[in-house]
Structure 1
Amino acid sequence: MRITAIEVVRRLPTARAVFPFAKIVNVVDGVCEIRTKERSVLLSAGSAVAVGAGRWCQLVPKPEVRAWTVYADDALWRRQMECFLPIKQRLVPGLHPDDWDGTPLVLHVGEERLRALEPIWRQLSLLDTNRQPLELVTARTIELVAQWVAAVAPVFLAPDARSEGLVDAWHPVEGRLTDPVLIGHIGKAVHVLRARLAEPWTVSSLAREVALSRTHLTRLFARYAGAPPMRFLTEVRVTEFTRLIEETDMSLACASQAVGWSDPRVASRWFRQRFGVTPSQYRTALSMHVESSAAPLNSAVG
C-alpha cells in the first residue's frame, strides 16, 4: 500500500517540491500558508488541504506549524475514496474523487477531529514492510485509512446527507478527548517529552514525572497516542531532528544531541528508516534548491 503519514514541525518556509504522490497536509497546531502554482491557501489548526500528484507545493509557517502530512499514490487514493464515498449525489459538490483535478482542495475538518486522528496517523507512519509481512502491513493500512475516513466523512457529505445522523455518530478515537483524567496524564506526558527532548528519558523516569506506573503509562500511550512511550519519543525526536537539519546550519552531531541522541548514528538510523536516505543525503538535496520529484515515502510502505 503506497500510503504513509509523516509528522512535521516547521518554523521556516520549505523549498518548493514536486511529488509523484497526492499530498494531504493536516494542520494540528499553528498556522501555515500552502503555496502552489494554482493558488495559495491559509490553513489554521483544524484545516487540511489535498494537493494532487505532480504539482509543486511549498509550506510557509506563520510563524510555526505542526502538521501531519499524508502521502498516497494518487490512483490508489482515488480508488479508496470512491469506495468510502460511493454515491456522488450525497457529497458536497466538487468533493467526489471524480470531480477533483488535483488543484488544492481545502477541508475544514475541525481541531477536535484532527487531534483525535493523530494516533491513527502515527500508527500508519510506523508500519514497516522490512519488519512486518507485506500482507499484514497492507491489511493494517486499509484498516487505519478506513478509521481516518470514517472520522472525516461528515465533512464530505451534503447537508441533507448529514441530517441522517452520521455526524452525531462520530466519536473521538478511543474517547481520547472525552476523559479529563486521560487528557491530564497523556497531555502532560506528551508536553514534557516535546519540551525536554534532550533528556535521557526512560519509561520509568517518564512514569515518575506524571505519577503513573510504568505499565499504566505504556498502556495509555499505546491506546491514546498511537505508540508506546519510547517509540512516541523516537518519532518526536526524528521530527525535530529533521527540522534542525532543514532550517539550521547545525552539524548532524549537534542536531542529534539537541534531540537527545548522543550518538549521531542513532539519529541517522531512525532518519533513514523514515525517509529512505541518510541525513547527509537529505541535506545535500535541500542545498541544491532543485524541485525534486523524489518520493517522501519511507521503507515502511510496500
Structure 2
Amino acid sequence: MAFDCVKLIVVRSGSALLFSEFGARHVKVGDVVLLAAQTLCGAEPEGSVSTTTIYLDRDYVIDQVFWQYAAQFCDRHNARDFFDAHYSTPAQIVRIGEDRAEMLMPWLDELAALSLDGPRPERFLRAQAMLFSVLDVIVPFVTTTAGTTKAGRGSAVIPSAPRHRQFRPLRIDARHVAQLIRDDPARRWTVQELAEAVHLSPSQLRRVFVEAFGKAPIAYLTMVRTERIAKLLRSTELPVKQIAAQVGWVDAEFAARQFRRSLGVTPSAYRRFVCAPNLSDGAQRAVDCTHAPATS
C-alpha cells in the first residue's frame, strides 16, 4: 500500500521481509522504516512482527524543516525546496540499534495512547513532545541527499488549509481523478482524458495532481496497477502475463519492470517470497498469504 503521508514504522519485536523501492530487505528490532508519501511498501512477517507506525502529514513535516532552518529561508517555499532536495529518498531502512529502539518504546506507547481518540487540544503539546523525542533519536540516522536551497520566490506566502489528519488532498478535482484511476486501472488512461473529466487543461491537471499526490497522474496509475498486481500475486495462482493484462499492461515484461521498480523484486520473486512454496492447494495458499500473523 501507499499512503498520502510520511510514515515512520518502528519494529518492536519479531522480524519481517519488506518490499519497496530499496528491494527485498529484512527488518527486525532496532530498525525503523521511513517511507515518503505515495511510496509503495509491502511486508511479509517472518513468524510474527509487532510495529508502531507514525503517520505524519507532509506539510507538517515541511513546517518543522522550515523552523529548524528558519535562518536560511526567505519563505516556506524555500523549506519545501530544501525538503525535496535533501529528503528525496522515497524509502529507506534506518538502523538505530536495539538500545536506541528500547528508548523509544515508552514514548511510542504514550503517543499511541494520546492518539486513540484523536489528539485533544489540551494534550497537543504533550503529543508534540513525545513525537519530537522519537524524531530526536531517529533523524540523525536518516540518509539525506545532496542538494541546494533554491532562491526565494517572493515574500508573499499563502498558507494551505489543514487536512484534519485525513491525509487527503484539498483539491476535489485531484481526488476525483485519483478515484477514476482506482475504479478502472486497466483502462488505457491518457492525461487528456483525465483532464477533460475534471474540466482542466492537461498542464493544470498535472500541476494540481502533483501538488496533491506527489506524482503525475500516469505515475499514480502505475502505482495503482502495481498494487493490484501484488494483490493478485498473493491471492491467485494466475500466470504473471495474465495478471499484467488484467491490470492494463499487455506487455508482461514491461509490467515486470514497473513492478520491480516499485517493490524491488520481480513479480515471480515476490510470489515466492510471500506465498508458502510447499502448499499445492491454490485456495489455501491465498488464505495463508492474506492472513499472515502481524500486529501493529
Which structure has the larger Rg? 2
TM-score by length of 1: 0.46
